[in-house]
A and B are shown apart, each in its own frame.
Chain A
Amino acid sequence: MIIKGILSIAIIGLSTLIGYLISMNYEYRIKQLSAFIYSIKIMEAEMNYSKNFLMDIIKKLSSSNEKVVSCFYSNMEDLLRQSYGNDFSTLWSASVDLSFETSALSNSDIKIIKDFGKNLGKIDLENQQKIFDYFYKRLDFQMEEAINEKAQKSRVYKNIGVSVGIMIVVVLI
């Protein structure tokens, strides 16, 4: 009886944890998107006001607070150092694949971030600004979607986790 009780608690606990972890993905996506947008805003300011070189800006951003974002810039910095002279957007894209593969970002978020790298540093400030503005618009939309998804699905997954655990226990007992 005691074993049954412990087993039931374990099953419910595990299932609740899985539900919780899935629901946390929605939370992480928002966090990571917002950290990435913040990093791009720093990049924009560095370009506009200090005219710092992109490589220096990337180096600075590699010490970002959000781990996934700092990891992305740090990978980008390494790739630039190893493969300097090669196409920037190819390196950017490689760094996105390397850093965001296991992140909470959706495929469409990742595609937008890859697209952003296509013209980064290749054009004058006026046109660069247009790219920034377009990027913010696209990511704002993604952010809205992420917030809605979180509101709709986060609690659902938490509840499903608990319910599935209880169901398994009921069936088994």
Chain B
Amino acid sequence: MTNSIEYIFKKFPDEIKRALFSVPDYVKSSIEEIRIKVNGSMVIYASEKEYFLSRDNKFTTDRKNSRLITNKELQNIFNSVLNYSVYAHEEELSNGYVTIQGGHRVGVCGKVVMDEEKVKTIKDISSLNIRRSREIIGISEKIIQYIFRDSKSIYNTLIVSPPKCGKTTLLRDIVRNLSDRGFKIGVVDERSEIAGMFGGFPQNNLGLRTDVLDGCPKEKGIIMMIRSMSPDIIATDEIGKEADVYAVESALTAGINLITTIHGYTFNDLENSNIKKLVKERVFDRILFMSNIPSVGHIKSIVNSKNEIIIKQE
């Protein structure tokens, strides 16, 4: 599998690579993030637990035994994660993250270089957050029936949850599922998280009939997708800007259905967000609330546009 976590491990220097590969399989399979900080620790986040790189180059839950990452090590990891080609990622770096092979996302912090009003790049890298792209085929199977209006159309659907609850993973599988069932889907992947495009190829399976506009702002991408690809459904991640509302309205006017996600906890949060206009106009016929309790990807409830419960599971 191209999005295997081992693709990330291979990018580390030998001694850290060995430590990563020796992590038990049950930890490996549940890795969510790897955070590395200069003069700080290297930490694996997996299943709500933290594993620190120790002085003897092993990962342990004992924080006191953790070792510091030197500046040289961090710069080296940063460089190799970017395929020794920082110049090829300049544009992405100005957004603060880079998508690497496998669709994983590397968040970068350091000294921001400005060019007038625009962020030009980031230098003197001080910390990295390698966020694993998870593709879980089949997780949408249980809820897909609630999204269908009839066999030929779906409800406009909004997935709501706080960060790290699996919104994007669910959205990705819904896209794949609907695409394989015959829908033409246009994905506007502003942050390269849905498709995980790398070198022009989606690193995740989005189905047979899915087109991807990668790295394009949603408000522009939705309009472009409508004009260029005539999709049945447009899927996008994390709406929330006021400009997104206009783009969503354009899609609806064109008779295109929408599946998207937003950060939040409750219906009330939506009514007070930047997309409140869409909520009040009852644009989203299906709203899925997710949480990470008892585990990531848990769907707490599905409601309709009037906040009437369709299913609820605690």
Q: Which residues of A contact B (CB under 8 A)?
A: 47, 51-55, 80, 83-88, 120-125, 128
Q: How far is the CA of A80 from the CA of B83 in the complex (A)?
A: 10
Residues of A within 8 A of B13 (CB): 85-87
Residues of A within 8 A of B88 (CB): 47, 51-53
Q: Which residue of A lies closest to B88 (CB)?
A: A51
Could you jot down 12 A-B contacts, CB within 8 Å?
Answer: A51-B88, A53-B84, A55-B85, A83-B14, A85-B16, A87-B72, A122-B75, A122-B79, A122-B84, A123-B86, A124-B86, A124-B123
Task: Tell me whether chain A's interface is mostly helix, strand or loop, or mixed.
Answer: loop
Q: How far is the CA of A87 from the CA of B78 in the complex (A)?
A: 10
Residues of B within 8 A of A120 (CB): 84
**A54-B84 in contact (CB<8A):** yes
**B90-A121 in contact (CB<8A):** no
**B87-A123 in contact (CB<8A):** yes
Residues of A within 8 A of B83 (CB): 53-55
Residues of B within 8 A of A88 (CB): 79-80, 84
Give the Cβ gap from B19 to chain A, nearest Cβ, in Å.
Answer: 12
Q: How far is the CA of A14 from the CA of B13 in the complex (A)?
A: 52
Q: Which residue of A lies closest to B121 (CB)?
A: A124
Q: How far is the CA of A128 from the CA of B85 in the complex (A)?
A: 11
Give the Cβ gap from B270 to chain A, nearest Cβ, in Å.
Answer: 40
Nearest first, the 8 closest Cβ-Cβ pairs linking A and B are A121-B84, A51-B88, A53-B85, A53-B83, A125-B87, A54-B84, A88-B84, A85-B12
Inter-chain residue pair count (beta carbon < 8 A): 66
Q: Which residues of B contact A (CB under 8 A)?
A: 10-14, 16-17, 72, 75-77, 79-80, 83-88, 90, 120-121, 123
Q: Which residue of B lies closest to A90 (CB)?
A: B76
Do A85 and B11 form a contact, CB below 8 Å, given A122-B75, A124-B121?
Answer: yes
**A84-B86 in contact (CB<8A):** no
Give the Cβ gap from B115 to chain A, nearest Cβ, in Å.
Answer: 10
**B14-A85 in contact (CB<8A):** yes
Q: How far is the CA of A43 from the CA of B292 in the complex (A)?
A: 47
Residues of B within 8 A of A124 (CB): 86-87, 90, 120-121, 123
**B84-A55 in contact (CB<8A):** yes
Q: How far is the CA of A128 from the CA of B75 in the complex (A)?
A: 16
Q: How far is the CA of A59 from the CA of B120 in the complex (A)?
A: 30
Residues of A within 8 A of B120 (CB): 124
Task: Tell me whether chain B's interface is mostly helix, strand or loop, or mixed.
Answer: helix
**A121-B85 in contact (CB<8A):** yes
Q: How far is the CA of A123 from the CA of B111 in the complex (A)?
A: 13
**B10-A85 in contact (CB<8A):** yes
Residues of B within 8 A of A54 (CB): 83-85
Give the Cβ gap from A82 to chain B, nearest Cβ, in Å.
Answer: 10
User: Of A55, A83, A85, A122, which one neighbours B86 at CB under 8 angstroms?
Assistant: A122
Q: Which residue of B lies closest to A52 (CB)?
A: B88
**A85-B80 in contact (CB<8A):** yes
Give the Cβ gap from A63 to chain B, nearest Cβ, in Å.
Answer: 20
Residues of A within 8 A of B84 (CB): 53-55, 80, 88, 120-122
**A84-B76 in contact (CB<8A):** no
Q: Which residue of B lies closest to A86 (CB)?
A: B13
Residues of B within 8 A of A52 (CB): 85, 88
Give the Cβ gap from B210 to chain A, nearest Cβ, in Å.
Answer: 26
Give the Cβ gap from A52 to chain B, nearest Cβ, in Å.
Answer: 7
Residues of A within 8 A of B80 (CB): 84-86, 88
Do A51 and B79 form a contact, CB below 8 Å, given A85-B14, A87-B13?
Answer: no
Q: How far is the CA of A88 from the CA of B80 in the complex (A)?
A: 8
Residues of A within 8 A of B16 (CB): 85
Q: How far is the CA of A88 from the CA of B90 in the complex (A)?
A: 19
User: Of B11, B72, B90, which one neighbours A84 at CB under 8 angstroms?
Assistant: B11
Residues of A within 8 A of B90 (CB): 124-125
Q: How far is the CA of A47 from the CA of B84 in the complex (A)?
A: 12
Give the Cβ gap from B92 to chain A, nearest Cβ, in Å.
Answer: 11
Q: How far is the CA of A160 from the CA of B11 in the complex (A)?
A: 55
Q: Which residue of A lies closest to B78 (CB)?
A: A122
Q: How far is the CA of A80 from the CA of B84 in the complex (A)?
A: 10
* B17, B75, B84: most-surrounded residue (chain A CB, <10 A): B84
Q: How far is the CA of A83 from the CA of B76 in the complex (A)?
A: 13
Q: Which residue of B lies closest to A87 (CB)?
A: B76
Q: How far is the CA of A6 from the CA of B113 in the complex (A)?
A: 76
* A51, A88, A124: most-surrounded residue (chain B CB, <10 A): A124
Q: How far is the CA of A83 from the CA of B80 in the complex (A)?
A: 11
**B10-A128 in contact (CB<8A):** no
Q: How far is the CA of A51 from the CA of B89 in the complex (A)?
A: 9
